[in-house]
Structure 1
């Protein structure tokens, strides 16, 4: 025990030692520098925020504001906005729920084309640069993007519900429609074509299908819109698809003995596209089945004249075969 006393005494003496003046000064200087650096960082951050806010005020962007004001999560079913109905065949028609959209913005050509192109994408995204170039092909990229931003903002105001537009979605790179909230006659048109092409059972109600063709889809897609190459190409595509469907329906109706329906569908196909040789053939086939031999001959000569004058070619073997069938029947009689 006695041997431990000197060590205990020395430890107690060490515990009573005070830090040196130099150490205290260094610690205080470090504390001051830390406070100054923290204050400088906060000042720089506040200055940057003010500059960013000033830049956003000087450079408004409806795409950015659309994201800032949009809820982070999807609305609940109870809060879902009304469906946006956009019909394109025969001209543009827009309704929010059951209320027609009468804003003059919808009548503007570029706004109309923008909405139509988005609808035709069926909720798919379009790159902003590509969309701007398609709508303003003669403008430089900067001007085209500015025009797109302005048109998008005006369209969003025209389609607003309770102060905001839930249908138009955009980010820094792309634009699209919220497919959950948009319905269009384009989807119904495609369903009608599938029925005529592939669903034999649906031909039992061919009168109803024919009524839809000649009623809802009597005219082309946006027949007066010729500023967009995309709209032009889709108009031609849908016209071709409908002619395909009408010819197929006519041929199946002949097989089923529904001659009257076959005639009506073939005539409508030829009215839609007088360059279709298969439509001439379908009409001849239906006319022969109906006992209209003179009409079948007129169809043949009309087809032959068109092919010779417009294309410089002769009728196909199928058309010639139908013609010979009429002639041979005439000789036998």
Structure 2
């Protein structure tokens, strides 16, 4: 968790607890967060007996940090109201997680519209913004739920980046993003189909067939199921098409659900 100004080095909160508080306040900023919920997020194994005063101390440190980083803002950025804390970011402030989700959704829409160049650019932006893990040094139910949501955004963006690259005959990036999607989601059939399409586009039909067999083995051994009809159709297309035939570009990926991420 850090605050960045244009052309300045990121300013990082020194307090681990304040970092966690800022993360949740960013995510919940449309409605604010209840004091007890914030305490449960900061201390997932159970808050201290004096959690109310401990929480006030964390909030005080966070307020001081925000005031220092936004000295020109007249209104307080973090306010207490009705037993809840509410973060009000200054106009023009951007949160990377918000940007990533917006870019992923817009990339999927651009792909469906056939604007593959824009889709590739936006999808790569989303992937870049989500490179690091969310609150890597912290655990808890809330953190796990956000990580899961962000991972869905990332994998969807990787698939869009791969499919868009395939549509642009950019085989290098099509393979790169497809491979990364499979690493992040080893049971996700659509990610394997991205790999198959990219290899077929590159003229590596044998490798595309190997990817299908890999998918089939993984699903059978780990989940006890067969590939979906979509994956089976892609496989049959590989068997029946001549070497010189370019692949059909996959149907547009489903847009990432719009969550209130921050």
Please give the TM-score of this superposition, normalised by the length of structure 1. 0.60
The answer on 1:175 being equivalent to 2:88 is no
The aligned counterpart of 1:145 is: 52
The answer on 1:185 being equivalent to 2:96 is yes
- Can you give the 5+ residue segments of structure 2 that lack an aligned partner in the other structure? 244-262
2-structure distance, mates of 1:135, 1:165 = 26
The answer on 1:225 being equivalent to 2:137 is yes
The aligned counterpart of 2:192 is: 280
Cα distance, 1:174 vs structure 2: 0.6
2-structure distance, mates of 1:250, 1:101 = 34
- Can you give the 5+ residue segments of structure 1 that lack an aligned partner in the other structure? 1-91
- The answer as to whether partners of 1:124 and 1:177 remain within 8 angstroms in 2 is no
Note the alpha carbon deviations across 1:67-106, whole angstroms, 9 max, x for none: xxxxxxxxxxxxxxxxxxxxxxxxx22236746435xxx2
- The answer as to whether partners of 1:113 and 1:228 remain within 8 angstroms in 2 is no
1-structure distance, mates of 2:232, 2:221 = 17
Cα distance, 1:159 vs structure 2: 2.7
* Structure with the greater alpha carbon radius of gyration: 1
- Which deviates further from its counterpart, 179-188 or 200-209? 200-209
2-structure distance, mates of 1:313, 1:99 = 50
Cα distance, 1:202 vs structure 2: 4.8
Q: How does 1:145-294 map to 2 (within 5 A)?
A: 145-161=52-68, 166-181=76-91, 182-199=93-110, 200=113, 202-205=115-118, 208-209=121-122, 211-213=124-126, 215-222=128-135, 224-251=136-163, 254=166, 256=167, 258=169, 260=171, 262-294=174-206
* Secondary structure class of the residue paired with 2:94: strand
Please state which structure has a larger fraction of its residues in helix.
1
Equivalent of 1:114 in 21, 25, 44: 21
1-structure distance, mates of 2:148, 2:36 = 25
Note the alpha carbon deviations across 1:290-323, whole angstroms, 9 max, x for none: 3211220221122122212321222222222322
2-structure distance, mates of 1:159, 1:151 = 12
- The answer as to whether partners of 1:123 and 1:179 remain within 8 angstroms in 2 is no
Equivalent of 2:217 in 278, 286, 305: 305
- Relative to 1, partners in 2 of residues 1:95 and 1:289: Cα closer, same or farther, differing over 3 Å? closer
Cα distance, 1:112 vs structure 2: 1.2
1-structure distance, mates of 2:106, 2:47 = 45
Cα distance, 1:114 vs structure 2: 0.6
2-structure distance, mates of 1:233, 1:112 = 17
Number of equivalent positions: 235
2-structure distance, mates of 1:187, 1:125 = 16
Cα distance, 1:201 vs structure 2: 5.9
List structure 1 segments (4+ residues) > 6 angstroms apart after TM superposition: none
* Secondary structure class of the residue paired with 2:4: strand
Cα distance, 1:143 vs structure 2: 2.6
Please give the TM-score of this superposition, normalised by the length of structure 2. 0.74
RMSD: 3.1
2-structure distance, mates of 1:141, 1:159 = 25
* Secondary structure class of the residue paired with 1:305: helix
